[in-house]
Amino acid sequence: MSERALYLQAAESLRRNPGQWAAYDSHGHCVVLAGPGSGKTKTLTVKLARLLAEDVQEPRGVACITYNNECARELESRLAALGIEPGGRVFIGTVHSFSLTQIVLPYAKVAGLGLPDEFSVATQSERASALERAYRSVIDGPDNPQTWDFRMGNYRRAILNRNSPQWRERDPVLAALVEAFEDELRAMARIDFDDMPLLALRALRANEWLQRALLAKYPVLVVDEYQDLGRALHRMVLGFCFSAGMRLFAVGDPDQSIYGFNGARPDLLQQLSRRDDVETVHLRLNYRCGSRIVTGSRYALGKDRDYEAAEGANEGTIHFHPRTGNRDQQADDLFSSLLPDIRERLPDLRLADIAILYPSAPIGDAVASAAQNYGLPTIRTDKNSLYPRSSRLMRWLEQCAEWCCGGWRTGTPRFRTLMNDGQRIFSESLTAEGDVLLFQRRLLKTLWERRDSTVLLHWWLNEMRREAIAELIEGCRTLQDEGETLGAFIDRAAPDGDCAEMTLEQFAGRSEGKNCISLSTLHSAKGREFVVVIMFGMNDGTIPWHNQSNQRLVEWRRLFYVGFTRAKQELHMMYSANMPSPFVKEVEERLKADG
Ligand SMILES: Nc1ncnc2c1ncn2[C@@H]1O[C@H](COP(=O)(O)OP(=O)(O)OP(=O)(O)O)[C@@H](O)[C@H]1O
């Protein structure tokens, strides 16, 4: 079926919802403000497909920005179902990758950013040493310099204009530390993650033509998860869309803003929606959750919202499981009693339909090891996963492994997809047509000759690195950190490492879409949905964390709400009987009062 037919068919499901249809049919700036499961992302993807087919003439395209690489991947897979692949006319990525690949790398010199020639992105260890030196020169106190990193990041994100008096006045020590740190980085010809949007903004502010150049390339800007994107993106949006003339399509939910510690500002989306030149659409129906879960979610959030389950939704159930014993015993209990009960009740349930969500990665360790004891396959998406899930390089290698483990026969994934994704990842090294052809040939040869699911992962990764990608990584300024991640993982898979026994099949088996239970922090579960959700470790002092300010308490509550609203059919709360989270208690009491 043609791309056009695919999106038109998908649009039919929006037609019955007047809000979704209005957003799909919008002609100017449009903001969709709506709750969980209301189809924001669905509407956004179908709209994006329509924009490409009907409104934006080739070779111009659409830039689509979202919160993190996980969210970008989710968008990519939903767009793939509509026949749209990133690359070419479509940019899909984070604010950071947009800033880096669309503004800083191509225009640093002409925009007068004053960066050293051939700068690249610092690895974690390079950052740490730059901070160490900056701390010694500016503060030279007894602290571990790395403990200043968090505050320094907040300061850099909070005051975007370094020429404003605020920059030096609000915290002169932090301002001096940041400046010394950035000087240290530049002396090594490096920029870091926080630099990316800041440099992009600086370039845009100082060069009006740059906004026009980006407008020429991307006449439409699409933004998902706006509530978490922070001030730098908001500034860019104001410039691109309300000064240069790009058209905006943005979706988000201030109630799901959970990254305040990273600079998220839920009010920015509301500000946009109040503008006269923006059409704002509110959606009320929740297509994901059963009706009881929708009701419970109001109590979870602690605010009245007029959301309703969509017509024909199942009722949905919420279960409370107070437990005794320590964390490990409770995790054991989850797999020995709770999960078997659920699977008996829902015999058709696949493991991939189940998610276990917890407030922080260390709690996930207990769950992961209990799952292993019961021989249940899991896929983990928090920072204690086998390697950082945000690494595009590692995800691509996983896909290559899947191809070698039988995917070549079934076309899952297709070789063409591996090739296209690889070309995007290594794009900086593949500038000439000859380079691209060579990459394609090498990749095919390397993978074809290593189609054996039983080989040790260590051998396979080493071969892949040597034969197909080492030189490419070397040539990419954006990939140094990911190259280090790969190196560290290869060390773990070495004969003396903790993953020495791992086979290619096990590595490939960790790909998404496989029949594994999802283990995730509440944060990483954002944007996703599962038939059954088990919220584990819902204890007072953990969610919310001890002694939080009122402002932080609100955000903890929103985090609880995000987890709560991932469930379609069954939601389970596990907690210590003697210290349930106040959020759990409130939901339970209010549901009881409803009868
Ligand atoms: N008009 C519709 N008809 C049927 N199903 C729909 C419709 N709109 C959305 N859905 C389904 O509802 C579910 C939630 O949609 P989506 O993930 O786009 O919601 P969202 O608003 O982005 O959610 P969240 O903010 O919680 O991430 C998906 O399974 C989607 O396919």
Query: What mean pLDDT do residues 22-49 have?
Result: 97
User: Ligand 1, closest atom to CA 566?
Assistant: 26
3-state helix, strand, coil in the chain (%, to 5): 55, 15, 30
Q: Lowest mean pLDDT of 255-259, 362-366, 475-479, 576-580, name the range.
A: 475-479
> Does 83 appear as a known binding residue?
no
Confidence band of 514 (pLDDT split at 50, 70, 90): low
Query: What mean pLDDT do residues 320-325 have?
Result: 97
Give the whole-angstrom CA distance, residue 439 versus residue 445: 10
Number of H helices, E strands in the chain: 28, 16
Distance 212 CA to ligand 1 centre (A): 34
If you take atom 26 of ligand 1, which residue's CA is the nearest one? Answer: 36
Residue 255: name the closest of 35, 460, 435 by CA.
Answer: 35
User: Ligand 1, closest atom to CA 34?
Assistant: 21
Residues with beta carbon inside 6 Å of ligand 1? 13-14, 17, 20, 34, 36-42, 253, 256, 287-288, 527, 529, 565
Classify strands 278-283 and 29-34 as parallel, antiparallel or unpaired. parallel
Distance 291 CA to ligand 1 centre (A): 15
> Does 483 appear as a known binding residue?
no
Q: Are 233 and 197 in contact (CB under 8 A)?
A: yes
Ligand 1 binding pocket mutation candidate from 287, 305, 357, 565 (most atoms within 8 A of CB): 287
User: Ligand 1, closest atom to CA 287?
Assistant: 12
Query: What mean pLDDT do residues 438-453 have?
Result: 96
Q: Are 219 and 89 in contact (CB under 8 A)?
A: no
Distance 528 CA to ligand 1 centre (A): 10
pLDDT tens-digit profile of 239-271?
A: 999 999 999 999 999 999 999 888 899 999 999
> Does 34 appear as a known binding residue?
yes
User: Ligand 1, closest atom to CA 36?
Assistant: 26
User: Ligand 1, closest atom to CA 562?
Assistant: 26
pTM: 0.91
pLDDT tens-digit profile of 77-135?
A: 899 899 888 777 999 999 999 999 999 999 999 999 999 988 999 999 999 999 999 99
